[in-house]
Amino acid sequence: MFTLGPHYLGTPVTINVVRTFILTQQLTEADTVLLHPANFDALALEYSETYRETLCDPYFLLGVLVESALDQSVPLDRLLALCNDNRSHRLALAEARFIPTDDSRLIHRCGYCGSFTDGQGKLLSESDRNTHLKLLRLRGHPERVDHVHGECCTHQYG
């Protein structure tokens, strides 16, 4: 991991300034942009006013994590990039955000309650369930699923 900055960009830190910084520095999904806590709060307020919803936590812009520097190691009105960020919480976020490629696998769901199952109707583990959810989001509609008799609802199928 190495750092870029802190950079002073000569203007207040806005969503567009952060976006331009990410594009100019050619940051990737393995990188993180850190902001002074006051700048991050202002960015969250701008986001809320612009999009009429609260800033999601964690906040990714162009695939790059943007977060507040909790230890205030970033001066006010400056941006710091952590390239190839390998901090433990960052790696956990990257794993949670993993978007699988669509391998056209058939997704099985219980025909009664809609729970994700395998081909024999057994419920999936939490990680397999999350992978199936990400696949469905990736594919969009219509959803391509096979409805099976799930063990979760065996009593429903007289």
Angle, nearest 10°, between helix axes 37-51 and 15-25?
Answer: 110
- pTM for the full model? 0.58
Residue burial 8-20, b: 16+ Cβ < 10 Å; e: rest: ebeeebbbebbee
- For the CA atoms of 22, 23, 26, 31, the dihedral, rounded to the nearest 10 degrees, stands at 20
Q: Which H helix or E strand runs over 25?
A: helix 15-25
- Residue 134: what residue type? K
Closest CA to 104 of 135, 133, 140: 135
Q: What is the pLDDT along the chain (158 residues), one digit of tens a residue?
A: 666 667 777 788 899 999 999 999 898 888 889 999 999 999 999 999 998 998 887 888 888 889 998 876 888 899 988 888 777 777 777 666 665 556 677 888 888 888 888 888 888 888 788 777 777 766 666 567 788 888 888 666 54
The pLDDT assigned to 158 comes to 47
Q: What digits encode the pLDDT tens for the residues 60-88?
A: 888 888 999 887 688 889 998 888 877 77
Confidence (pLDDT) at 72: 66
Identify the bridge partners of residue 59 per DSSP, sorted by sequence position: 66
| Parallel, antiparallel or unpaired: strands 107-110 and 145-148 | parallel
